Chains A and B, each alone.
Chain A
Amino acid sequence: MEKLKYALFTGCTAKESTPEQMMSTLAVANKLGIELVELTEASCCGASHLQDYDDFLSLVLNARNIAYAEKHGLTMVTICNTCQLNTAMTKHRLDHNAELKAKVNAKLAEVGLEYKGSSQITHFLYAIIDDFGLDKIKEMVVTPLSQFNIAPFYGCHNIRPSELQNESHKSHESAYTPTSLDDLIIACGGVNVDYEQKNKCCGFHAELQAPRTAAVLTGNAVAGAMDANADWMVTPCPLCHLKLDTQTHHASVAIGREVSLPVLHMQQMVGLALGCTPAELGLNHHVTKVDFV
């Protein structure tokens, strides 16, 4: 197989509050022999909030990020669900509206850039599943996670709206019965746990504006995983991770029950199975202690 190569859009979180996510992404890519060219020029995607304030500005900035991936002639890989949704949504809107695309490109021309629509945008989870292949992951596993019940937490912005999301990857994902993360858990030798909240929202985006709503959603998610006997949770989204890892105190108060589980980034889970060390994966950067390694 030819070496897989992508343009990496890290997003902001990987550079700030979830350094372990950046570390584990690079460690896993290295193990799998995937080359990631970091888009160091990229700006924040606006995280589904900038567009509430200034939709056009959000489009221009996201189009600029994609334009840099296009310059490399590479598919853009994201490592954050919300980055994925915002960027893919920008692509969808520009690719389906010539007038809007021209307006955005008139702005980009001021800095010598152009959005063409030539790069695909996919989340690292689907790059692994579609392009690398779960069978090959299975073959490479050196530390099967067989003693663990693992609860997948998909995160809204990787699975909904499914029509848009399914434009971004080859495998089909249902928003109601998603399987990608379950399949990855199984490929790593783990036992995937089924629970009601696995495809529900953690409330991250309303944490400041609607703290009680956000806390109850987080509480329900962790409680659901605990009641299904999960040893830990895994998510492809650093924002879900922040919420589930750092906010369990508020969540416990909100639902009137003590809830807490270790939460791993999807990359950390794969890394563990492939034999990376806990230090390489940044497991010491979690607020809820990862006590099983």
Chain B
Amino acid sequence: MLQMLEINNLHVSIKGKEILKGVNLKVNRGEVHAIMGPNGTGKSTLASVIAGKELFEVTEGTITYKNKNLFDLSIEDRAREGIFVGFQYPVEIPGVSISNFMKTALNEIRQYRGLPPLTASEFLKLMEEKKKVVELTAKLSNRSVNEGFSGGEKKKNEIFQMAMLEPELSILDETDSGLDIDALRIVANGVNQLKTKETATIVITHYQRLLDYIVPDVVHVLFDGKIVKSGPKELALELEEKGYDWIKQEYEQGKLI
């Protein structure tokens, strides 16, 4: 089965205000998609709706994931079915250590898949191995989840979690923002290491720079709640050069969808 995710005519509102106004998107296994677009057009909203955030109201449309109706799955079951969202603003959770968090998550996911829980030593070994993916220091992993982490550390921690949980569909929401140049390379390398022919990745970003490392198969422009333009990776370069004004003009002139 090649196709993994299919979004059809998705309309989403928050507190009565329509944010997504008919999004269409198809993602196949093995692909990398980039979503770009001006601030406030609904990129994070799209990611949250896929993760299952209850605050958003889906008023129209469908999302099919691995041939299942995504809306039938609870937040946790979506994760257990292989969806991972790297959040733009990861939450701080005082008192919950990263290792307790990951152990609980991993064992619940394993249980869902009919696998026995990891032993303590297996788990520790896995942690050590995956910490290397994003060059996470030992100090961080003993701390409470994201508590007092710098912006960049939070983003690294998201990718570390992704490495631990080995998702099939990863949606990375501005994982590059706030990263210094070295960290950007480390994170991008991490994402690339985790990519396989069976997995798909959607990266949401404002900067073409990330796409030098994580090379997308398709670039989409989300504008006014819709994907108004899609193109090859060169589209990202064009956007970086020209900004979004021309998209806006073409959109208003009805030249785009």
Check if A and B associate: no
Residues of A bordering B, CB below 8 Å: none
Give me the interface of B with A, judged by CB distance under 8 Å: none
